[in-house]
Chains A and B, each alone.
Chain A
Amino acid sequence: MSSTSQKHKDFVAEPMGEKPVMALAGIGEVLGKRLEEKGFDKAYVVLGQFLVLKKDEELFRDWLKDTCGANAKQQGDCYGCLKEWCDAFL
Chain B
Amino acid sequence: MSLFSNMSAEEISYLLDEHGIKHGPVVDSTRNLYERKLKEAMAKRKQAKPSPDKTFYREEEEEVTYVYRTPTKSENFMERPYMRSKTAEELEHSASYSGYSRSSEYRGRDYDELSHKLPVGPKTAPIRSGQDAPKAPKSPRLIPLWVQFLCFLAVAVFLYFVFSSMESSEPLKVIE
Contact = CB atoms under 8 A, between A and B. Distances in A.
B29 interface: yes
Given A63-B30, A66-B32, A53 B24 contact: yes
Given A62-B37, A66-B36, A52 B22 contact: no
Contacts, number: 27
Contact of B25 (A52, A63, A66): A52
Nearest to B26: A52
Contacts of A58: 22
Contact of A56 (B24, B27, B29, B36): B24
The secondary structure that dominates the B interface is: helix
B23 interface: yes
A56 B23 CA distance: 8
A53 B30 contact: yes
Contacts of B153: none
A52 B33 contact: no
A66 B33 contact: yes
Interface residues of B, number: 11
Contacts of B27: 52
Given A59-B22, A59-B23, A52 B29 contact: yes
Contacts of A59: 22-24, 33
14 contacts: A52-B30, A53-B30, A54-B23, A54-B24, A56-B22, A56-B24, A59-B23, A59-B24, A59-B33, A62-B33, A62-B36, A62-B37, A66-B33, A66-B36
The secondary structure that dominates the A interface is: helix
Interface residues of A, number: 10
Interface of B: 22-25, 27, 29-30, 32-33, 36-37
Contacts of B25: 52
A52 B36 contact: no
A45 to B, nearest CB: 9
Contacts of A54: 22-24
Nearest to A51: B24
A52 B30 CA distance: 8
Contacts of B22: 54, 56, 58-59
A74 interface: no
Interface string A22-60: 000000000000000000000000000100111010110
A62 B25 CA distance: 16
